[in-house]
Structure 1
């Protein structure tokens, strides 16, 4: 009976309040949409729109100078079966991501732990180490890197001072990729800041209890710091992995994909196809292939996180 009375009350009040409530709700919705309208226009105009256009172009032969011609899956089959430089760019990019991402995260974590002890000047040095992440992807830094590691660069001058004869690192097929990996690792400031924030959240009581139990620095790191930091590691891993697949400016300015295509990153080859060879349809197919591959790798990392990412709120 009590339940029936409540339903009856609701049904009685609903007609009296519905018009006013609807007007108020409509007004709130309009205000909300007005505030987010700039973002919605940008999202649909500069993200969704170009994505759908590129999806269509990926099934066409389009040179940006004439109307696109429908070719179906031809671009995708050419990518996977007859384009040797496409396979080279995939190999170079995968190698770059597999080497640079772990090294960058390890270096960022090491520096973050160094600054986590509230030492004098820690804030200043944290800012200094973060600066390369802001300017690291710029053209000016890429030009500087090319000058440093060139045949007559400062690196070779320093090696000559030590009595070691250097080489043109940028022009060496065996060392050019390593030079770009060093450039990306140098931009460790962003993950370092995130690691530092994660380290600040670890309760100090855990370390004090570990010291009482006789644990050393290595034991505390692997038993406390690393497990509690796995959510931050997971986030940084995803972000840096995606960023690694999209590297372009460093290779374009420093090596232009050479020597012998040893630094032909995927994004650089895509740019070459689109804006140098005017094969926009082919480049669009490359872009969607990259999206699919990155999505699959990201999904695999998310799936694996169930086994190695520890959340303090979880039971067990």
Structure 2
């Protein structure tokens, strides 16, 4: 009789499959798989431990100590937090200024970026030129853009006030006036919105045209299409822009520090920082600037660590609330 080759091959494949499954179930094989996975993840895990976990734990520990980088840390319990919440003369001012940047600058920047992205998405002629034009300011280094804006809005010699004076309008003091210093930085934030604008543009161009056509056939006007078609499709991008914007605003430092230094006549941020940060009249004193002053100008590292821990907690709470809020607008959240 001629042996059935097909049956023999099937038996061999089944035997091989059983052997492979047995090998997968052996402890040694599973251990090798885990070790290989850990080896591939080692660089990322090591970086996370060194640059995030260790600094976070160290900051929490130092926040309960008196530490000046020279003497060993001295345990003082909750005194740093007691001073932070009850006695610090400027932490409330810094927190209010930071809240202004979070609640005003972030939404305004997102709204303008979304409007410009919407216009560029509908542009037909020279669309590449306009996209490049609106994106280019985002490539300017923050320090250079702030210095340029301070000189442009100089109340005496700046071209902005000269143009306003030509039309018979008395321009404000801009960065030298506590009432106008934050709105001046808001104008700067709008000017450098190209990074968020280009992301919104990509999201808008990715919205299926068929959905707009279906909504139009159903009688939806422009506002209804924006609400029921555009926003649901770009919700993840809106969440990304909002989260990153709020985190950046909570850590707002460079632009405010450079603007205070240049407007006060001290263009160098470093020596004498504690004297000119927040100029004019502490209107640009942000939370992270005050943290910098207490930690690296007055060498109160323990108290600065308490400020940093509070900032981390506030950022984490805001992030959780945002994620929970946006989850309600997703199909999974609605279910």
The question of a shared fold, defined as TM-score above 0.5 by the shorter chain, is answered with yes
Aligned position for 1:284: 305
Among 245, 254, 257, the alignment partner of 2:250 is 245
Quote the offset at 1:157 in angstroms.
1.9
Aligned position for 1:121: 126
- The size of the alignment, in residue pairs, is 303
The normalised TM-score by structure 2 is 0.81
Rate the CA distance shift 1:38–1:228 in 2: closer, same or farther, 3 A: closer
Aligned position for 1:189: 194
1:1-316 alignment, distance < 5 Å: 17=23, 22=28, 26=32, 32-117=37-122, 119-135=124-140, 138-151=142-155, 152-255=157-260, 256-307=277-328, 309-311=329-331
Quote the offset at 1:117 in angstroms.
2.8
8 Å contact kept, 1:228–1:310: no
Q: CA RMSD in A?
A: 2.8
Cα deviation 1:260-314 (Å, max 9, x = unaligned): 111111111111111111111111100010011111112122222244x244x78
**Which is worse superposed, 164-173 or 68-77?**
164-173
- Following superposition, which runs of at least 4 residues in structure 1 exceed 6 angstroms of deviation? 18-21, 313-316
Unaligned runs of 5+ in 2: 1-14, 261-276
**Which is worse superposed, 50-59 or 156-165?**
156-165
**Which is worse superposed, 70-79 or 221-230?**
221-230
Quote the offset at 1:50 in angstroms.
1.7
Rate the CA distance shift 1:219–1:23 in 2: closer, same or farther, 3 A: closer
Q: Name the CA distance, whole Å, in 2 between partners of 1:177 and 1:14.
A: 67
Rate the CA distance shift 1:46–1:13 in 2: closer, same or farther, 3 A: same
Q: Name the CA distance, whole Å, in 1 between partners of 2:215 and 2:327.
A: 26
Unaligned runs of 5+ in 1: 1-8
Q: Name the CA distance, whole Å, in 2 between partners of 1:202 and 1:296.
A: 32
Quote the offset at 1:68 in angstroms.
1.2
Q: Name the CA distance, whole Å, in 2 between partners of 1:17 and 1:212.
A: 60
Q: 3-state DSSP class of the match of 2:72?
A: coil
The normalised TM-score by structure 1 is 0.86
Larger Rg: 2
8 Å contact kept, 2:24–2:30: no
**Which is worse superposed, 150-159 or 115-124?**
115-124
**Which is worse superposed, 70-79 or 125-134?**
125-134
Q: Name the CA distance, whole Å, in 2 between partners of 1:96 and 1:46.
A: 27
Rate the CA distance shift 1:133–1:36 in 2: closer, same or farther, 3 A: farther
